[in-house]
Chains A and B, each alone.
Chain A
Amino acid sequence: MIKMQPKFQRQRHGMPGLNLASMPDLIFTVLFFFMLVTHMRDDAVLLRYQVPDGSEVRKQQRHPAVVNIYIGKMLNTNGDIGGYAIQVNSELVTLPQLVPCLNRLRSSMPPEAQERFTVSLKADRHTPMGLIADVKRELQKAYALKISYSGTEKH
């Protein structure tokens, strides 16, 4: 027994260490993977919304001619939830401001994008239809007729 102990200790010291030379390669692979498959969050969304789900949703191209309109409940700075509000890209607007805002955004686009001007409507699933109808009316007034009702896929 006394003779065996040093043998054990020698074995523990003899454990080969993990070779970490390939670690940077691994990390860079993961980094590049994320850089390719993700994109930057573009708008600071000030509203709380959850889009509805449907089975017929199509993938929508992300191109500069798309304007996001968010409709949801206001998130106040102290954390409580207020009433319904409208946000265009990253600014909060009221209903009458919607038409001038869309026109301004459209005129800042290159001509080929103006033709494909599309509105992606990201509205909360519990929004009353009255508000949605009002927004759609304003979109018609602003001649923004291509719209996409944003939703998640459900099978």
Chain B
Amino acid sequence: MLLIFFLVTSSMNTEKGLQRQLPPLPDGQQKPLDVQREHVIAVRLDSRDTLSCDGTVLTPGQLTERLVERIAADPQQHVVAIETSRSSTYEAYYHVQNAIVRAYTRLRLQRASQLYHRPYSQCSPEEREAIDRHYPQRISESRPEEEGGKHD
């Protein structure tokens, strides 16, 4: 009886997800940061879920490669600017987020094995902080616009 009760009422799935930190809302006193055009990596997702980076259409896998290349060349000042349409699907957006996380993970892993000769997961907190400082996650997300160009 107890066995059947547990089989029916419980579930086995473990929680998994992409952990992200949202920026706080601008409070009006902050000045918008001006970023020079050459530092911006523009990732765009249009209403038909077509992914493009700096104007060229690519897959999430290729996006990771492209980001690794671009961020490695400009680790301190790059900005990944994500732009989505209101009608693109969450799944496509999720794959973009996943590709970005993968790019940063790969870069940090590389740096960890270069500097400390061990994977990032086995580095001490100080070492990790040094790596994170070298490859900070600089991501900017703009609020998707309405299709008619209306801002809110």
Within 8 A of B (CB), among A73-100: none
CA distance A124 to B92 in the complex (A): 12
CA distance A136 to B42 in the complex (A): 21
Residues of B within 8 A of A129 (CB): 45, 84-90, 93, 144
Residues of A within 8 A of B12 (CB): 37-38
Q: How large is the interface on B (under 10, 10 to 19, 20 to 34, 35 or more residues)?
A: 35 or more
Among A6-14, A27-35, A105-113, which stretch is in contact with chain B?
A27-35
Contacts A57-B17, A120-B17, A140-B23 given; does A149 touch B94 at CB 8 Å:
yes
- A133 near B85 with CB under 8 A, answer no
Within 8 Å of chain B (Cβ to Cβ): is A16? no
Partner of B17 from A35, A60, A140 at Cβ < 8 Å = A60
Residues of A within 8 A of B (CB): 27, 30-31, 34-35, 37-41, 52, 54-62, 66, 71, 120-121, 123-130, 132-133, 136-137, 139-141, 143-153
Residues of B within 8 A of A (CB): 2-3, 6-7, 9-12, 14-25, 45, 84-91, 93-95, 97-98, 101-102, 105, 143-144
